[in-house]
Amino acid sequence: MSRSPITTHVLDTAIGQPASGIKIALYMQVQSGWQLLASGITNQDGRITDWLNPKTQLDKATYKLSFDLAEYWQKQNQTIFYPSADICFNLIDEGHYHIPLLLSPFGYSTYRGS
């Protein structure tokens, strides 16, 4: 199965479920700032897997996932402490990069997934 070279998954650890409906933008750092490559909204499984063509060749560079969290927390009737979260990471090889976000109302974490 072919997939985008960069994928993401958001899990709401406070309720133990995927976080659907979160708007996420993918950027690449360029000399003048950040260039938007793609954007999407997490599906019912909390994933975005198809925002780049599987054949897309990405440069070794710094990339950023920008998660718009305010609307999600509002729908969950939660205090909006973190209205957004940005994850910057370096592509260091041509492999697949899966960047999950583990989310709770007052904290979040990430790691390189598989």
Q: What is the pLDDT of residue 3?
A: 81
Query: Taking a C-beta distance cutoff of 8 angstroms, is the pair 99, 6 a contact?
Result: yes
Mean pLDDT in consecutive groups of 10 residues from the start of the chain, 114 residues: 85 96 97 96 93 89 97 94 97 90 96 91
Q: What is the DSSP string of 66-81?
A: EEE-HHHHHHTT---S
Domains along the chain with CATH numbers: 6-110 (2.60.40.180)
Q: What is the pLDDT of residue 1?
A: 47
Tell the burial category of 6 from Cβ atoms under 10 Å away from its Cβ (0-12, 13-18, 19+).
buried
d(CA 37, CA 61): 13
Q: Record the pTM.
A: 0.93
